[in-house]
Chains A and B, each alone.
Chain A
C-alpha cells in the first residue's frame, strides 16, 4: 500500500463575481515512503492547490472531490475532522516565504514546541530536548531557540521552518518553493539538507516548484502539471531524456543550463483560463505539434512505461502507427 494515494482529485474555487474556477482537474498521485517527488509547472497550473487540498488548508471558497488516502485511510471523506489528526503529525509542509510561517513575537523555540504539545507528541523538558535536536538536525545551533524570527537570516528561517515541520515526525513533507527566495549558496545548502533528512528519516518529500533543475537535483520522480491536470509523470531521468508530452519538452527547453549550448526558448502564449469549459487538449493552442484531434478531444492519461504516464494524443497516434 502506498503511503499517500490521491485519486481523481478535483478542486473548484467560487469566484467573487460568480462562476467557478476548476483549478485541479482529475489529478491522480501516488507517493511511497521515502520517495522524493517533484510537482512542477507554471504559476496557476494547480500544483500548490493540490498540496493545499491534501493538507486540508484550502479556503472555504474551495470545493474538493476525490479521494486522498493516507496509509489507506481516506482523509478527505470526513472533512476537516478526518484531516486534523494527520495534519502536522503525519504530513507537514514548509512554505515559500519562511518569514510568514512564524509568529514575530514568539521565540523560534517556543513555536517548535507548540505543535508537539498540541498534538501530544512531547511536552515540558522532553519537548525542549527535541527542539534542540531538531534545530541541530537542520543546522542551527540549539542555543538559537531563544531568539526571535527577525533575528534569523532568510536561510536560517527556512531551516527553522523545516525544524518546525519535522517536530511531530511526519511521514510526508511538502515543500512549496522552499529555496526560491534564497541565495544560490544557501539554496544549495538547504536542498542538500532536505534530501539528507528525507533519507535519514525515511520521509516522503514532495517538492512543489517551477525550478526544474532543483527537481532534477533532488527528486527521483516528477509530475508535470498544466492547466490543473497532469500532463506527464515519470522518473526524472525519463522526463528529461524521453519526454512524451510536448509541454515537458518545452519546459526543459525554456530552462537555461549552465553548460547548455542550445538556445533557450520560451513557450509562446499563455495557459488557458480555468473558469470556463475547455474543449480538446488544454495545451493545444501553445503546442507546436498540435493536430486536429487535439483541438476537439481531450487526451486521456496513457501509461507509456513503468510509472510513466502522459496525456498527449501523439502517444496514441504513435501506438496506432506501430500496431
Chain B
C-alpha cells in the first residue's frame, strides 16, 4: 500500500499503528466526584491507523487540537495510549514498561519545534552531542567519541566542526541550533525520527536547508520520519505521504502530491484552499471554515466533520465513515461516504454555519 515518491513498493513497515486511541481524563470537580458523576474523557486521538516504512517521510497535518501531537507522544510512549497497538519493527511496544522501553529509546528519537528550549543552555555543542553517547554507552573512549561528534556535526552541516563544537546554544543561529538538535538525535542511530514542526520557528531562508537535511538523512540511514506540521506547502514538497487529521481521526491519507492536487475530503479541500500561493497572479479565494470543531468530550455519532461540512446529509450524521480507498487509487484513502458524489462539486466561499 505504501509507496515512495518513485513509486517503489516497500518492505514490511518500520512502524505499524493500528486503531490507536488516546484519551485524556477531564478534570472533575470535587463536587462531581462526591456525586459520583462518571469521569469524562477528551478524545485526543480516536482510532487512527497507519504504516511508516524505513526511509519514508510521512507528514501528519491538521490544525491545533486535531490530535497530531498526541499521536506523536503516544507513539513515543510519552503518554499512555488508551487502546490500539503500536508495532516497531514488528514488535508490539504499546504496553511495554518504561524499563523495557529504555533500550528502544535509542531507536526512536524526537526533534522539537524550538531548539532553544530543547537544548541545554549550559552545554556546548560537543557536550550536547556527546551526552546521549555517555548515557547509552556508545564509543569506547574519549577519542572515539570526539571523532564521532565531529563526524555528526559535519554531517548536519555544522562545518568545520571545530568552529561549532565549543559554542553554546545562544552563540548559534536558529537554524544552527536545529541542526545541532538533529545531530544529537542521530547519535543513537535511530530507526524512527519524530519531528514536531521542525522549522516553524526558523527564518524562511534557512528552513529549506533543515528540511533538505532531514530528507537526505532519512534516505541515507533508511530512517522513518514522521513530521508533524500545519504547513501543507512544506509537507507537499518533502513528504512521501500526507495524512490529514481532523478531531482525532485521519480523514484523508495518500501520496503527498496526490492529496494536494486531488484532495477528496471536504476538510482537506478547505485546508488546502487557505494556503496562499507565492505568485500574486494565482491569488485564491480561501474557503474558510466557520463554526467550531465539536466538543472532544461529547463526540458526535457519525462523521466528525458533519457540523462544518457543506455537503452534509442525514446519512453523514448517522454513519461514522471509515478510511476507504479512493476509487481508482488504492494508495489514497478518504473517510467520507460522499467522496465520489461530491468530487466535482465546488466548495462555497464560506463553509459551514
Q: Using a CB–CB distance below 8 Å, which chain A residues touch chain B?
A: 42-43, 183-185, 187-189, 191-192, 210-214, 216-217, 236-237, 240-241, 250-252, 254-260, 264-267, 270
Contacts and interface: CB of A to CB of B under 8 A. Distances in A.
Contacts of A241: 279, 281
B52 interface: no
A185 B63 contact: yes
A188 B335 CA distance: 25
A184 B306 CA distance: 20
20 contacts: A184-B231, A185-B274, A188-B276, A192-B286, A216-B276, A216-B278, A216-B279, A217-B277, A237-B281, A254-B204, A256-B234, A258-B260, A259-B236, A260-B233, A264-B207, A264-B208, A264-B211, A264-B212, A264-B237, A266-B205
A64 B248 CA distance: 52
Contacts of A42: 203-205
B229 to A, nearest CB: 10
B288 A188 contact: yes
B204 A258 contact: no
Contact of B204 (A192, A210, A240): A210
Contact of B233 (A192, A210, A237, A256): A256
B271 interface: yes
Contact of A260 (B205, B237, B274, B280): B237
B40 to A, nearest CB: 21
B142 interface: no
A258 B268 CA distance: 13
Given A42-B204, A210-B203, A260-B237, A266 B275 contact: no
A24 to B, nearest CB: 19
A101 B209 CA distance: 34
B204 A260 contact: no
Contacts of A183: 63-64, 230
Contacts of A251: 204-205
Contacts of A259: 236, 260-261, 277
B78 interface: no
Given A240-B278, A251-B204, A185 B233 contact: no
Contacts of A184: 63, 230-232, 271, 274-275
Interface string B62-100: 011000000000000000000000000000000000000
B148 interface: no
Contact of A267 (B205, B270, B275, B281): B205
B175 to A, nearest CB: 8
A257 B64 contact: no
A128 B208 CA distance: 48
Contacts of A267: 205-206
Interface in B194-226: 203-212
Contacts of B207: 254, 264, 266
Interchain residue pairs A-B with the least CB separation, the first 9: A266-B209, A188-B274, A217-B276, A266-B208, A213-B276, A256-B233, A267-B205, A264-B208, A236-B280
B149 to A, nearest CB: 23
A278 to B, nearest CB: 18
Interface of B: 63-64, 173, 203-212, 230-234, 236-237, 260-261, 270-272, 274-281, 283-284, 286, 288-289
A216 B277 CA distance: 7
Given A189-B288, A192-B288, A256-B234, A213 B274 contact: no
Given A183-B63, A184-B230, A189-B288, A237 B205 contact: no
A42 B270 CA distance: 30
Nearest to B210: A266
Instruction: Tell which of A185, A187, A241, A251 has the most Cβ of chain B within 10 Å.
Output: A185
A214 to B, nearest CB: 6
Given A188-B286, A192-B286, A257 B208 contact: no
Contacts of B231: 184, 256
A64 B284 CA distance: 40
B233 A258 contact: yes
Nearest to A219: B280
Contact of A256 (B237, B272, B279, B284): B237
Nearest to A239: B280
B203 A258 contact: no
Contacts of A210: 203-204
A266 B232 CA distance: 18
Nearest to B273: A188
Nearest to B233: A256
A84 to B, nearest CB: 34
B276 A256 contact: no
Contacts of B283: 216-217
A183 B64 CA distance: 7
Given A254-B204, A258-B277, A267-B205, 18 more contacts: A42-B204, A185-B289, A188-B276, A211-B204, A213-B275, A216-B276, A237-B280, A237-B281, A240-B279, A241-B281, A250-B205, A251-B204, A255-B204, A256-B231, A259-B277, A264-B211, A266-B205, A266-B208
A236 B209 CA distance: 25
B271 A185 contact: yes
A65 to B, nearest CB: 28
B204 to A, nearest CB: 5
Contacts of A265: 208
A214 B231 CA distance: 13
Nearest to A43: B203
A185 B286 CA distance: 9
A191 B270 CA distance: 16
Given A213-B276, A217-B276, A257 B233 contact: yes
A251 B203 CA distance: 10
A39 to B, nearest CB: 14
Contacts of A213: 233, 275-278
Given A183-B63, A185-B289, A266-B212, A255 B278 contact: yes
Contacts of A260: 233, 237, 278
